[in-house]
Chain A
Amino acid sequence: MTSLSIGRHAGQIVWFLAIALALLLPELIPSKTALTKMCLIGITIVFALSYNILLGQTGLLSFGHAVYFGLSGFAAIHLINLIGRHQLPIPVLIVPLFAGLAGAAFGLLFGILSTRRHGTAFAMISLAIAELVAASSLILESFFGGESGVTTDRSVGPTLFGIDLVPQIQVYYLIVGWGVLSAITMYAFTRTPLGRMATAVRDNPERAEFIGYSPQIVRLLSFIVSAFFAGVAGGLAAINYEIMTATNLSTAASGSVLIMTYIGGASFFYGPVIGAIVISLIQLSLSDVTPAWLLYLGLLFVITVLFAPTGIAGLIERHLPPLRARVLHHLIPSYLLSAAAGSVFAVGAIALLEMNYHVTLNAHEGPLLRLFWIQVDTTQPLAWGVAILVTVCGFFLFRRTWPLVGGAWNEIDSRLRKAAP
């Protein structure tokens, strides 16, 4: 086995390891709260992957993808309730498939309206549709259940292989099963002629049209496929939570899947997976620590847009060639310096934000704030002065380390070029 073939199979090996890890995780971390979080992350991964069919593959920026997630979730809830009421011979296990079909149907309906355009116009139309559906969800109470949403009981219906979906662990494996199936199908979709045409339409709709394909039809089909998998995710969410509310299809939910996918890296198939895991973990851990976590998320997003438009996956891919050529260690000194200066800046900025937040929102808790394991008195000017000083100094130090990193990269690039002429 040559090193080349290891490199070629490395991607598949990583995928198998990831699936094995997903299967073994409940054994490795046997806690109930962890299981709930893992279910959430699994659903989010499917949802983010489905969004990337639009954003990364077809180049359509949608601000209303949660519409398909939410509508199919409601459809799944009503289907499960129907199964319970009329004893239909449909196991709840395959409800996500029906939810996906519902998503595809809504995708067809709204896709006809929106995929005639692309770029900014498409984004605007998707936003209008999202607002339309969100506003309608408060009017059509018999389907959306008004403010309180619709609930269900997932343990109804015939059991298949003795799985009644009562314990959460069964739901977890249901999510893993559907998730792996969906991920493989979505990956296969990128390799189909239609998937390839979607990429072509993203890059140059005019040339795609000249070789005989209608960009509108390609976009529409891509949109429907994407809505189908969003629907599968919605169906899984309906089974997992046994409740759907109007917030599931709000524009905030659409924004959150966009942020995840983009930070993860829309140009790579595995980018949304990383984004979904990282952002969900940030959300789950930070939301207990600080009320400002959404602000940090927004900051992270803007920084990604400005400085790393290819996302986390893009950063990983950028470091792979030096890693293979065994020159990655040349980056370590400059990275360490930059990280040190950057963390000084981050500590200062976070201290300022947290102190500000404490003064405006948590004033009733008194002037004392626990910050980085020390007590800070927010009434003292000294505390603010120190925070501002740390922030400013940190920023200037951080800014000065950028040329170092750039220089290290230049050297590595020239080495790589020499190694492979």
Chain B
Amino acid sequence: MLEQLAISTLNGIIYGMLLFMLASGLTLIFGMMGVLNLAHASMYMLGAYLGYQISKTIGFLPALILGPLALGLGGALLERYGLRRVHQHGHVSELLFTFGVAFMIQEAVQMIWGRIGVPYRVPPELDFPLFRLFDTPYPAYRIFVLVLAVAIFVGLFAILSRSRIGLVIRAALTHPNMVGMLGHNVPQVFMLVFGVGAGLAGLAGVIGGPIFVTSPNMAGALGAILFTVVVIGGLGSLPGALLASLLIGLVQTFAVVMDVSLDDFIKAIGVDAKAGNILGDIQHTTIAQIAPILPYLMLLVMLVVRPRGLFGSRDV
């Protein structure tokens, strides 16, 4: 029991940190430009596929650098030549544009790498058990992912809070017009943030691909969860995104190992009720089975109780 608890906690934190890598870019882009990038999860998927392709041909370390760089560049170009064009037509057009891009990336990935997943495995140089947690060997690769994610978080936080460009970015989050008046090139800052966000999503894909399955379904599965994280954390708030990522990571990881249903609970209090139809379905559904819908339930509860999210300064 304790062993399972410890392993699940560790796995949940790693999953949460990966979520944060994606959510940080998404929430910054949203906070600054008001654009919810629906293609963000697609970039994560593209990162995983690029990581697979590059590590197959050159090696894992180049993949770790080249993959995010390629996606960062692609993201910056997407912002410069696509998003900026539709910006004049309003937020709905921007959303539609990113939706179209996500749709195309989805199809392009299936076109290039096939409709089923690719065997993206943990690189051999990191494929060994690092330590034993109680009796279970814990893979070194997961710890590597954790360390990298924490390093990214610290780096991002340091840049945003200590450096000059971080100051401009934070100012542009709330007062883009004023920052522009002061002589900063706000569109260029937008392009930079969009590029870095895409690069981070790509990095998450490169390192997350071997842990989760690299398949064309991965973007759809993660995309909606990311928006949940961003809303629960509060739009534009990095600490909020961190907390919400860890929360959702832990909840989902714990939920999938809980094989308890309402039925067990009813039996435990000594009532032997037999409900039919839908009630019966609900009664026999285990927590593991509802794990995929838990984030959305949390999102809806959050929107009803506190629409601005955990750390948000304004309503969604």
Contacts and interface: CB of A to CB of B under 8 A. Distances in A.
Nearest to A360: B112
Contact of B92 (A119, A125, A140, A360): A119
B36 A120 contact: yes
B214 interface: no
A353 B45 CA distance: 20
Contact of B108 (A125, A139, A295, A297): A295
Interface in B53-86: 82, 85-86
Chain A interface size band reads 35 or more
A142 B89 CA distance: 45
Contact of B280 (A135, A142, A258): A142
B129 interface: no
Contact of A61 (B30, B95, B115, B290): B95
Interface string A88-125: 00000000000000000000000001001101110111
A63 B101 CA distance: 15
Interface of B is mostly: helix
A140 B281 contact: yes
Contacts of A120: 30, 34-36, 91, 95
B304 A113 contact: yes
Most buried by B among A128, A262, A353: A128
B111 A360 contact: yes
B114 to A, nearest CB: 6
Interface string B36-60: 1000000000000000000000000
A290 to B, nearest CB: 11
Contacts of A302: 82, 97, 100-101, 104
B138 interface: no
Nearest to B299: A128
Interface stretch (B199-207, B223-231, B252-260): B223-231
Interface residues of B, number: 52
Contacts of A259: 103
Contacts of B316: 117, 121, 124
A360 B53 CA distance: 14
A113 B111 contact: no
Contacts of B91: 119-120
Contacts of B304: 113
A139 B99 contact: no
Contact of A305 (B36, B86, B107): B86
B231 A124 contact: yes
A131 B224 contact: yes
Nearest to B81: A306
B9 interface: no
Given A124-B227, A302-B101, A361-B111, A59 B92 contact: yes
Contact of B103 (A119, A136, A140, A255): A255
18 contacts: A61-B92, A61-B96, A63-B99, A120-B30, A121-B231, A124-B227, A127-B227, A131-B293, A132-B296, A132-B297, A139-B290, A141-B281, A142-B278, A143-B281, A292-B107, A298-B106, A301-B96, A306-B85
Report the 10 A-B pairs with minimum CB-CB distance, sorted nearest first.
A302-B100, A295-B107, A298-B104, A121-B316, A132-B296, A298-B103, A135-B293, A131-B224, A301-B100, A135-B292
